[in-house]
Amino acid sequence: MGALRDAQWERFANELAELKSPIEAYKRAGYAPDRGNANRLAKRAEVRARVRELLDEAAEFANIRRVRILVEIDRVGRANLTDFFEAERSVSGVGS
């Protein structure tokens, strides 16, 4: 679907997706506070679809981050500490 054509509606959808109340999202989108209008806009099919899309994207991102963190933790747990250190060389100057 992508962003809504109306910039204020897009801002409203983004604010609503952040778990704000419709009236709070309505105010943050730049509208004058009006509970009835906020609820009507929140119920519009295109706004609801956009909010759903934003929430799906956020859930996918969160899942990717969790997997990445688990992979990194696993790598650290399986790492061989000797791989992180270099053997000391003789610094006496003999044979150099």
pLDDT (tens digit per residue) in 53-83: 998 888 887 777 777 777 888 787 877 777 7
Q: What CA–CA distances, in Å, run from 33 to 8, 43, 47, 65?
A: 14, 17, 18, 36
Given 3-state DSSP classes, what are the helix, strand and coil percentages for the chain, each rounded to the nearest 5?
A: 70, 0, 30
Q: What is the pTM of this model?
A: 0.63
Query: What is the pLDDT, as a whole number, of residue 86?
Result: 74
Domain extent listing, the chain: 7-81
pLDDT tens column, 24-34: 999 999 999 99
